[in-house]
Amino acid sequence: MNDHDTDQLEKVDPSEVFTALGFPKEVAVNAESDSGECQSMATNVVTSSEGEAKQSEAELEVWLSMNYLLNHENLGDECAKAERSSKTGAVAGFLPRRAVSFLVGDSGIGKSPLAYQLGLSVAAGVPFLGMETESGLVIMGDYENGMEESLNMSKQVARFLGISKVPNNFVVWSADHANGKSMDIQSICERAPQKPRLLIIDSLRSHDAHFEKHDHAAEKMNQLNRVAHKSGAAILLIHHTRKPNREHSAPALYSDDTRVMQWLKETAGGGALMNQSHTRIAVDSIDGRSHLDAALILRWYRKGKGEAGPLYLERVCDGDGEPFGYRALTDLRLMTNPDQEAAFRKLPVKFVFNEAKKAFGRTDDPTNKWLRKCASLGLVKKVGRGRYERTDKTTDAAADLVGK
């Protein structure tokens, strides 16, 4: 098309074009004058559609919120919050915030000193058995020990942790001091001058025996979970196992054949206690039942994450021979399985998952569980996605020899 043709097009009357196409003359006549209005109407339609869409989105968000519903994006956000809570909770990867957890074990094995060590570690922001903590207000609800015992235990554990004094943000509720009244967890959390990081109840049975009754357990746990969620605290309940069955003894917690949730069936009370909690920690004494030189063994199950552990604990004594803290043991012999020990020795200092799988000679899931066991024993650490390093003493000795 040349310039002459373009000029001719500019001279064409729009009404003639409409008439030639078969439109009524009045439409053709008004076509030119209405073109601006048509464009304006089209713009209004688009603007109106966008407004309706935004209003619809806002109404959807309100509806979702009012009914506690989550779309895919919001579900991802909530999962991310839960993951962050677990990783940076009262104890990273162990006790998340805004959740109720259990520590279950037999009477007299040393749960109270362990609970005090946990509470003081969080209050001071120092590691608990090698796991990172987030400092904050810690409330220790102690029904099991008198005020003098509580005072002495606090000072002993503080010395063991290397803390100059018991932190002011570690506070104790004592049954002796409460004049027969029970601890009001909801009121304490709601009226605290700062949000509590960790609240420990030792023990649940002494605090409220209704938790063990099937007719009350679910509702009691619901109430406690609401308090934890609203306050943002990690709530840990110290609880007992039921009385031993002479015909069917409890499975050995240190055995690879024992699943944590199987062992936790020995918990006193209804299944609602375990089902409505987040982290379920099993603790048992192993003295006299194996060759291992350890006082306690810990294994735990985290909701959405599965089993972790074992963690073997040594009871450390002061210069006078008085026990005053727990320390995690690191020893290849704690593997308690010759095949697993042999597979571990085949691993190089740095390795990837497939190399571990080849050394172990098993499929993905058993290999993953074995590596997590190695990590809990302090023999391995994960340094990246699918990448690991050995941290055992044998590796250190080999590195020293290479340096020489």
Q: Are residues 138 and 18 in the same domain?
A: no
* Confidence (pLDDT) at 162: 95
* Confidence (pLDDT) at 362: 95
- The answer as to whether 242 is a domain residue is yes
* Confidence (pLDDT) at 4: 52
Q: Are residues 324 and 353 in the same domain?
A: no
Q: Are residues 366 and 218 in the same domain?
A: no
Q: Are residues 39 and 10 in the same domain?
A: yes
DSSP class of 288: T
**Weakly modelled stretches of the chain, pLDDT under 50:** 6, 9, 17-18, 27-29, 31, 395-404
- The answer as to whether 30 is a domain residue is yes
Q: How far is CA 201 from CA 53, 91, 222, 239, in A?
A: 51, 17, 16, 9
Write down which residue in 293, 308, 329 finishes a domain: 329
With the CA atoms of 206, 102, 183 and 217 taken in that order, what torsion angle do they form, in degrees rounded to the nearest 10? Answer: -70
- The answer as to whether 63 is a domain residue is no
Question: Is residue 320 packed enough to be buried (19+ CB in 10 Å), middle (13-18) or exposed (0-12)?
Answer: exposed
* Confidence (pLDDT) at 101: 97
Range of the domain at 44: 3-55
Rg (CA), the chain: 33
Beta strands in 170-328 (DSSP E): 170-174, 196-202, 234-240, 279-285, 296-302, 306-317, 323-328
Task: Give the position of tokens 């409220």.
Answer: 208
Q: Are residues 210 and 342 in the same domain?
A: no
* Confidence (pLDDT) at 151: 95
Q: Are residues 342 and 323 in the same domain?
A: no
Q: Are residues 389 and 241 in the same domain?
A: no
- The whole-angstrom distance between residue 281's C-alpha and the CA centroid of its chain comes to 13
Q: Are residues 134 and 282 in the same domain?
A: yes
Instruction: Provide the CATH number for the domain around residue 386.
Output: 1.10.10.10
Cβ(238)–Cβ(111) below 8 Å: yes
Write down which residue in 308, 329, 350 finishes a domain: 329
Write down which residue in 298, 329, 360 finishes a domain: 329
Residue type, 246: R
* Confidence (pLDDT) at 170: 96
Cβ(374)–Cβ(380) below 8 Å: yes
* Total of domains in the chain: 3
Cβ(280)–Cβ(286) below 8 Å: no
- The answer as to whether 209 is a domain residue is yes
- The answer as to whether 121 is a domain residue is yes
- The answer as to whether 94 is a domain residue is yes
* Confidence (pLDDT) at 398: 39
- The bridge status of strand 137-142 relative to strand 196-202 is parallel
* Confidence (pLDDT) at 189: 95
Q: Are residues 361 and 234 in the same domain?
A: no
Q: Are residues 204 and 315 in the same domain?
A: yes
- The answer as to whether 72 is a domain residue is no
Q: Are residues 319 and 351 in the same domain?
A: no
Q: Are residues 168 and 205 in the same domain?
A: yes
* Confidence (pLDDT) at 154: 96
Instruction: Provide the CATH number for the domain around residue 106.
Output: 3.40.50.300
Distance CA 375, CA 391 (A): 9
* Confidence (pLDDT) at 30: 52
- The answer as to whether 359 is a domain residue is yes
Task: Give the position of tokens 């603007």.
Answer: 47
The DSSP string of 103-169 is EEE-TTSSHHHHHHHHHHHHHHT--BTTB-B---EEEEEESSS-HHHHHHHHHHHHHHHT-SS--TT
Q: What is the pTM of this model?
A: 0.77
